Amino acid sequence: MMKTSIVLVASVSIVRDNKVLIIKENKPSIRNKWNFPGGRIEPGEDILDAAHREVKEETGYDVKLTGTTGIYNFISDTNNQVIMFHFTGEIIGGSLQLDDIEINEYKWIMASDLLIPNLYEIRGADVIKQIVENLINGKNHPVSLYNPKLT
């Protein structure tokens, strides 16, 4: 039996003009799958800081986190237990500069497009579906639900 790990992830739906930004992954294990910007929370890193860092690294944008659609718990394709903290955000600075090593394309789309079967090859489609349904249904909670990192 393969040993599983627990992986903590922060991801962000960046909203602009009623559309969300999705990115196409370029890493070998998930190449050409669409996703929201995000990634692993580093040991000792604050969840909110991780969300800001991942968006900046993958897109070049600085964002203001405007809410959270929830915490999602699932088993990844690599058999890890993933606990994902998903946020909504708006661009407050920076400019689009994709991380060519990790990302090979981006699109601004209506969130509901992610619910259309086979329109996009989506990483973690079941989880993305839950996130999108929460976005569409206005289930966006205050970021203040998260306590700052204890020092």
Query: Where do the domains of the chain lie?
Result: 6-137
pLDDT value, residue 51: 98
What digits encode the pLDDT tens for the residues 67-108?
A: 999 999 999 888 899 999 999 999 999 999 987 888 999 999
The distance of Cα 100 from the centroid of its chain, to the nearest Å, equals 17
User: Under CATH, which architecture does the 6-137 domain have?
Assistant: Alpha-Beta Complex (3.90)
The H or E element spanning position 128 is helix 125-136
17: how many CB neighbours lie within 10 A of its CB? 5
What digits encode the pLDDT tens for the residues 110-138?
A: 999 999 988 888 888 899 999 999 999 99
Provide DSSP, 41-75: PPTT--HHHHHHHHHHHHHSEEEEEEEEEEEEEEE
